[in-house]
Amino acid sequence: MHGIGNYFIFLGNLFIKREAFRTYVKQILDECIKVGIGSLVIVGIVSTFIGAVTCVQTAFNLVSPLIPRYVISLVVRDMTLLELAPTITAIVFAGKVGSNIAGELGTMKISEQVDALEVMGINSVSFLALPKIIACLMMYPLLVILAGFLAITGGYVAGTLTGVITPQDYIYGIRADFQEFNVIFALIKSFVFAFLIASISSYKGYFTKGGALEVGQSSTSAVTNSCIAILVADYLLAQLLL
Amino acid sequence: MIEFRNIKKSFNDKTVLHGIDGVFRSGRTNLIIGTSGTGKSVLLKCMVGLLEPDEGEVLFNGRDFTHATRNVRREIRRDIGMLFQGSALFDSKNVEQNVMFPLDILTDMSKEDKLERANFVLQRVGLENINKKMPSEISGGMKKRVGIARAIVNNSKYLFCDEPNSGLDPMTAILIDNLIKEITEEFDITTVVVTHDMNSVMEIGDDIIYMYQGQKLWEGNSQNILSTRVPELQEFIYSNKLVQALRDEQQNNKI
């Protein structure tokens, strides 16, 4: 409970007496490149293969001749939009970006760089964490959109190459019974997950005490706590919005 | 001028500072000395606001810093420069960006003016042609100089140095000590240096406070420190072989 209380105080400090917004602009752009462009490869690989595997495994499980083949791509589409693109990518994102944020802030903390900011009269919490959170909020939804596209494309490639579904059936399936809200739902999830990953990782990194060992522990803790928060938020959002 | 009154600080049940008073005047290099674990750095951190004292107050030119509002604190802090033990340069910025950083954040100066000011202070601390180097590419002594340049770039009125020559070879340590003293006098800064290096004490100590187990045991300067009658301070001073030799020589001359 103490940790959760401190986390909310930390969130409050993000906005109290922060520097002028122009101070953050360059930092936000730098963070966007680091967070967004830096995650493209891993997000691309993971989502493409997850889409491919989902397609092949769905085909494997659909043994009844009464079920039309286009259902395979329909399942791939809905699974991708509802769960795989926002949630699995979030786990990957937490592992890559979350650990990086916690490691960076933790190292700054133990090498007195955070103290140097405080001595200058700068609100170190908002100066260091706010650009990272804003960058994640800007870039993660874009990564989710990309992940969704690549997963569905991965399913198409795997499905057609292995012969479990024809290209025509696949295209028909991904267009059948389409609900626009699923896309909105995926984007809502992506904003929530991005905030949780960036803020929890910043919090864990900022309060690092000790030396190199503790920086490693903070990174690990940032990833595990972010993953737990993502799964809890995933359940709550599904209950509330679906 | 910095004045601190009855500063007390405890961590859990351990009292680290037992009510310390003192005054540090401007244009002078004020030293806080003592063995490791006596609370020197804690006192320094209480003064700059990195730690909150349990009791007591710190005044910068008569303005109460300890009980001030957040805005007043920010205002006072903008007159404070600090050189950290490990230099605390920002890893992601090069030397020039590190020095310009306080100007970027705290002033509305044009880029040309900021660059000119950064180059001026870098030259003043004896560093040229390393503007584009990253902190990881320069030596420990250079990092300390960059740290000093960053601390004074915004025309700071107060300079705090936490063990400025730790980890440096004796020659570089003397250079850094002398640089701190020169800058203090040249820019009329109130400088506070925490150290346990007797060479620094003898070299730059205009005013000295000796701390022992969280208390101020002695106050004086580098001229009268060797004639102290405080046993704990004598033990601290003469643990240094060079000072020991100096005392022996003085005693032999008297005989």
**Looking at residue B254, what is its pLDDT?**
65
Strand partners, B210: B33, B218
Residue A70: how many other CB atoms lie within 10 Å: 19
Distance from chain centroid for Cα A88: 8
In this structure, is residue A132 part of a structural domain?
Answer: yes
Structure confidence at residue B232 (pLDDT):
85
pLDDT for residue B245 = 76
B86: nearest CB among A17, A112, A121: A112
Cα separation, A105 vs B50, whole angstroms: 17
Residue B45, both tokens? 């951190």
- Average pLDDT score over residue span A25-35: 93
Closest Cα in chain B to A113:
B88
Nearest to A189 by CA among A44, A34, A80: A80
CA angle A197, A201, A207 (to 5 degrees): 155
Interchain contact, A119 vs B160, CB within 8 Å:
yes
Altogether, the residues listed in chain B come to a count of 255
Question: pLDDT value at position B108?
Answer: 86
Chain B residue numbers touching A29 (CB-CB < 8 A): none
Position B200 scores a pLDDT of 82
Looking at the predicted structure, is the pLDDT value of residue B231 above 80?
yes
A180: tokens are 């626009």
Judge contact between B30 and B24, C-beta under 8 A: yes
In angstroms, the CA A27 to CA A21 distance is 10
Task: Give the pLDDT confidence of A149-198 residue by residue, as tens digits.
Answer: 999 999 999 999 999 899 999 999 999 989 999 999 999 999 999 999 99
Q: How far is A186 from B117, CA to CA, in rounded Å?
A: 50
What pLDDT is recorded for position A109?
94
A161 CB-side CA count, 13 A: 10
Which chain A residues have a beta carbon less than 8 Å from that of B85? Answer: 112
**Tokens 């267009």, located at residue:** A175
Give A129-152 pLDDT, tens digit per residue. 999 999 999 999 999 999 999 999
Q: Is A2 contained in some domain?
A: no
Q: Per the structure block, which two tokens stand in for A239?
A: 């209950």
* Contact (CB, 8 A) for B204 and B31: yes
* Phi and psi at residue B15, to the nearest 5°: -85, 125
The confidence score (pLDDT) of residue A87 equals 94
d(CA B105, CA B108) in angstroms, rounded, equals 8
**Which residue of chain B is at minimal alpha-carbon distance from A122?**
B74
Phi, psi of B51 (to 5 degrees): -130, 145
User: Would the pLDDT of B255 be above 70?
Assistant: no
What's the pLDDT score for residue B192? 94
CB B167 within 8 A of CB B140: yes
**Domain segments of chain B: what residues?**
2-254
The pLDDT of residue B107 is 87
CA distance A119 to chain B (A): 6
- CB nearest to A112's CB, from B71, B88, B105: B88
Task: Quote the CA–CA distance of B186 and B124 in Å, as a whole number.
Answer: 11
Place of tokens 């938020």: A233
Across the interface, whether the CB atoms of A111 and B70 are under 8 A apart is answered no
**Lowest-pLDDT range of A180-184, B139-143, B227-231:** B227-231
The pLDDT of residue A222 is above 90? yes
Tell me if A7 is assigned to some domain. Answer: no
Tokens read off for A96: 């890559």
Contacts of B71 in chain A (CB under 8 A): 17
Element (H, E) at B208: strand B207-212
Residue of B106, B134, B160 best to disrupt the A interface, most CBs of A under 10 A: B106
Tell me which chain B residue has its CA closest to the CA of residue A115.
B50
Q: How far apart are CA B37 and CA B212, in angstroms?
A: 9
pLDDT (average), residues B44-72: 91
Query: Cα A17 to the chain's mean position, in Å?
Result: 29
Residue-level pLDDT at A231: 95
**Interior angle at CA A183, CA A181 and CA A186, nearest 5:** 110
d(CA B100, CA B113): 10
Average pLDDT of span B226-230: 84
Question: Is position A5 within any domain?
Answer: no
Give the range among A14-18, A102-106, A190-194 with minimum mean pLDDT. Answer: A14-18
pLDDT at A134: 95
Round the average pLDDT of chain B to a whole number and report it: 89
Calculate the average pLDDT of chain A. 92
* Dihedral sign computed on CA atoms, order B9, B207, B192, B201: negative
Q: Which fold has domain B2-254?
A: Rossmann fold (3.40.50)
Q: Tell me the C-alpha to C-alpha distance, in Å, between residue A132 and each of A32, A188, B32.
A: 8, 19, 39
Q: How far apart are the first and last CA of chain B?
A: 43
Average pLDDT over residues A103-119: 94
Set of chain B residues whose Cβ sits within 8 Å of the Cβ of A109: none
Give chain A's domain count. Answer: 1
Which residues of A, range 57-116, sit inside 8 Å of B by Cβ?
A: 107-108, 111-113, 115-116
- Residue B16's pLDDT band, with cuts at 50, 70 and 90, is very high
Structural domain of residue A223, as residue ranges?
A: 25-241
pLDDT, position A205: 95
Q: What is the mean pLDDT of residues B198-209?
A: 86
pLDDT in tens, A52-94: 999 999 999 887 888 898 999 999 999 999 999 999 999 999 9
Flag whether residue B108 sits within 8 Å of chain A, measured between CB atoms: no
Q: Which helix (H) or strand (E) element contains residue B56? A: strand B55-60
CB atoms B84 and A115 under 8 Å: yes
Residues 6+ apart with CB under 8 A from B123: none
Amino acid at B183: I
